[in-house]
Amino acid sequence: ETGVTQTPRHLVMGMTNKKSLKCEQHLGHNAMYWYKQSAKKPLELMFVYNFKEQTENNSVPSRFSPECPNSSHLFLHLHTLQPEDSALYLCASSQDFSGTGGGSYEQYFGPGTRLTVT
């Protein structure tokens, strides 16, 4: 595998279910991101992890719970979701969040998980 992978690619879940999205990057990066992309809305940054530490949480509801066990893996745990949470969830990685590498701000995105909450 190369680049950034996400599983599953499609997920349908009921409002009472618990599921998890997985992201894995094979680029040796130290920062990982979760974004939400809804129809007719701009890309929303949800969480940022830099060297496994959460550095950003953009007022995301607690029904979304991120986990970053190491620099290569990022999870998004979902529970008690609402229909308005249906969206494309994108994972991205970059060399690091602080940009000390001078060119490390560019982000590499996975293909996304299309989530439908019924």
Question: By C-beta, is 56 or 67 nearer to another protein?
Answer: 56
Nearest to 93 by CA among 49, 47, 32, 46: 32
* Rounded Cα distance, 24 and 35, in Å: 15
* 110 vs 117 by CB, closer to another protein: 110
**One character per residue 41-80, x = contact with another protein (rule: CB under 8 A):** -xx-x----x-----x------------------------
98 or 118: CB nearest another protein? 98
Question: For residue 65, what are the CA distances in angstroms to 3, 59, 62, 74, 102?
Answer: 24, 12, 6, 11, 31
* Site stretch for another protein (CB under 8 A), options 14-22, 63-71, 79-87, 101-109: 101-109
Number of residues that bind another protein (CB under 8 A): 26
How far is residue 18's CA from residue 28's CA, in Å, rounded to a whole number? 30
Beta carbon of residue 104, minimum distance to another protein (angstroms, whole number): 9
The answer to whether the peptide bond before residue 61 is cis (omega within 30 degrees of 0) is no
